[in-house]
Amino acid sequence: MERCFECTACGKCCYGQLPLTLNDAVAYADRFPLAMLWTIIRQSAKSFAITARLGVVVNIGKRKRVAVRITPVSYMPPSIPCPALATDDRCSIHADKPSRCRTMPFFPYREEEDQADLLIPRQGWLCDTSASAPVVYRDRNIVHREDFDRERQELVDQTPVLRAYAQGVMAKAPNVVAALEKAANTPRGGTVVLNFTALASRLPQMDMTDFARKQLPVLTAFADKTAGMSDAADFHRYYRDNAAGMKRFLERA
């Protein structure tokens, strides 16, 4: 089986949340509104095993066991374009774009043999999947795999940091555990959104004052952008509250 795919730079996939490696999140703190997304992966899911290797496994109640994918993200509503998307629908940081964008449409939080459906463009996307496009997937293997392997290795390298962060949060914040349990008990699983600052403060190389100075204008701009948007109320609240926290921190610094 062969699958063809080529990006047409239509910009249609550059909307909403963008998963980031930890390195990319820190590098683009002055551009993306950062958050931590905890995603429940059920034990019956194909991606359970790899999520368990790259994230954490949580026991829900006495019998349920789930894996949790812990991902830094550029946290935005589906209707809002990436801050790096220019007015001509081209990426303004294409030469140095995040690993997630380089690897698209493949996703290293899945096993390599479970990638075929990701090559089917979503409704409205203008990806070229015709026979004239390059062959990118053959016999359940990625053909040109440099970007995939690079991003996967970044995920492996950051796992100890994210796992320690997650275990620390769950040990000290019963409300997070309760939120995970609630998400795990929804029909299709769910997500929990936490602020990025709790993780940033654990990074030994992080200058928190510099980080806050970069994030504050980004969060403030997105709070203004989403004000009054009925479909972005949760996002607006996140931006507003975290911007206020950043401002208080800088006033004390």
> Which tens digits make up the pLDDT trace of 27-41?
999 999 999 999 999
Please name the residue that has the structure tokens 């950051």.
158
Position 74 scores a pLDDT of: 98
Q: Is the pLDDT of residue 81 over 90?
A: yes
> In angstroms, rounded to a whole number, what is the distance separating the alpha carbons of residues 250 and 253?
5
- b/e string for 183-215 if b means 16 or more Cβ within 10 A? bbeeeeeebbebbbbebbeeeeeeeeeebbbbb
pLDDT tier for residue 204 given thresholds of 50, 70 and 90:
confident
Q: Is 0.75 surpassed by the pTM of this model?
A: yes
Token pair of 249, please? 């921190």
SS3 114: helix
Answer yes or no: are the C-beta atoms of 142 and 112 closer than 8 Å. Answer: yes
In the structure, what pLDDT confidence band is assigned to residue 24 with cuts at 50, 70 and 90? Answer: very high
CA distance 128 to 125: 9
| 87: confidence class by pLDDT, cuts 50, 70, 90 | confident
Q: Are the C-beta atoms of 129 and 121 separated by less than 8 Å?
A: yes
Q: Residue 248's pLDDT is what?
A: 96
Average pLDDT across the chain, whole number = 94
